[in-house]
């Protein structure tokens, strides 16, 4: 079962950033109270990094036992391990070492230094997800995700699922190699929409007037081939956390 899309407007990017960080902290605290750990799927982009920085700076951050937080990524650029284009490199910079994460619980997607092809890196991430699922005694090939954070491109893409690319219509909850991305770099690794949607809560983080058309398309339920983001639906909650400028008129 999936949750319908709810739009939550914010007056500006600053309010969106701080309030989204506080929302995320509450989800993590509640998940740890329920079962002793929490799992979050991170995204790249300026909004994703801004929310992580706000989370690391929050006076509430110590309410979370960070050593028992599992971290995954919804997509990654298949480039060198230390490339500033990598979503995980941007996340590490945004957090600035402020959170005492357990390195064994932080699951980076493979880089071009480690694997010959994006397909090999995608296979490795599927293996890592399956191992985590086995440890949780789940029947699925992936662990439980409490929260997945997503950006939204001006073209309506989410993760590395771009309009017109074949994996937008993938029906399996898996991780795939993406080639021919219209936004550099061309080679990437990405969760499919069914895997993104496997999270209990999925939140878009969107600011900027250049995103207004994509936001309108997501809200109206545009076709996936034109707006992949329109296919995002979490199991329990789907929020479009959006700054006023991205809502257009």
The pLDDT, as a whole number, for residue 151 is: 97
For residue range 42-82, list pLDDT tens digits in order.
Answer: 999 999 999 999 999 999 999 999 999 999 999 999 999 99
Asked if residue 27 has pLDDT above 90, the reply is: yes
Kindly report the pTM of this predicted structure: 0.96
For residue range 126-160, list pLDDT tens digits in order.
Answer: 999 999 999 999 999 999 999 999 999 999 999 99
Residue 186: pLDDT band (50, 70, 90) is: very high
Phi and psi torsions of 48, nearest 5°: -60, -45
Write the CB contacts of 81 (distance below 8 Å, at least 6 apart in sequence).
111, 112, 113, 114
The pLDDT, as a whole number, for residue 88 is: 97
Domains of the chain as residue ranges with CATH: 5-247 (3.40.50.1360)
For residue range 8-22, list pLDDT tens digits in order.
Answer: 999 999 999 999 999
Tokens of 214: 């994509």
User: 178: which strand partners?
Assistant: 188
The pLDDT, as a whole number, for residue 204 is: 98
Q: Are 8 and 215 in contact (CB under 8 A)?
A: no
* CA atoms of 46 and 64, how far apart (whole Å): 24
Q: How far is CA 110 from CA 40, 64, 122, 174, in A?
A: 18, 27, 8, 15
Asked if residue 1 has pLDDT above 90, the reply is: no
Residue 248: pLDDT band (50, 70, 90) is: confident
Q: Are 215 and 179 in contact (CB under 8 A)?
A: no
Q: Are 69 and 59 in contact (CB under 8 A)?
A: no
The pLDDT, as a whole number, for residue 15 is: 98
DSSP string across 31-84: HHHHHS-EEEEE--HHHHHHHHHHHHH-TTGGGS-GGGEEEEESEEE-S-TT-T
For residue range 81-113, list pLDDT tens digits in order.
Answer: 999 999 999 999 999 999 999 999 999 999 999
The pLDDT, as a whole number, for residue 3 is: 75
**pLDDT > 70: percent of the chain:** 99
pLDDT, averaged across the chain: 97
Long-range pairs for 95-104 at CB < 8 Å and ≥24 separation?
Answer: 95/52, 95/53, 95/55, 95/56, 96/53, 96/56, 98/56, 98/57, 98/61, 99/55, 99/56, 99/61, 99/66, 99/69, 100/66, 100/67, 101/66, 101/67, 101/69, 101/71, 102/66, 102/67, 102/68, 102/69
């Amino acid at each position: 079962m999936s949750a319908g899309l709810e739009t939550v407007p914010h007056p500006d990017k600053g309010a969106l950033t701080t309030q989204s960080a506080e929302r995320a902290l509450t989800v993590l605290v509640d998940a740890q109270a329920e079962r002793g750990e929490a799992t979050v799927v991170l995204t790249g982009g300026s909004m994703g990094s801004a929310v992580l920085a706000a989370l690391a700076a929050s006076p509430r951050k110590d309410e979370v036992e960070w050593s028992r937080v599992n971290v995954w990524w919804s997509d990654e650029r298949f480039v060198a391990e230390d490339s500033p284009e990598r979503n995980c490199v941007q996340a590490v910079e945004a957090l600035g070492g402020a959170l005492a994460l357990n390195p064994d619980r932080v699951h980076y997607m493979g880089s071009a230094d480690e694997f010959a092809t994006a397909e090999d890196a995608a296979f490795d991430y599927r293996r890592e997800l399956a191992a985590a699922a086995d440890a949780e005694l789940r029947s699925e090939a992936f662990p439980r995700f409490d929260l997945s954070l997503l950006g939204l491109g001006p073209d309506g893409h989410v993760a590395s699922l771009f309009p017109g690319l074949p994996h937008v219509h993938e029906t399996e909850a898996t991780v795939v190699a993406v080639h021919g991305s219209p936004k550099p770099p061309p080679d990437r690794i990405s969760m499919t929409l069914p895997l993104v949607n496997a999270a209990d809560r999925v939140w878009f983080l969107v600011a900027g007037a250049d995103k207004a058309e994509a936001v309108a398309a997501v809200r109206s339920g545009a076709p996936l081939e034109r707006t992949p983001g329109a296919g995002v639906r979490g199991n329990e909650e789907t929020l479009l956390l959006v700054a006023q400028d991205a809502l257009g008129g």
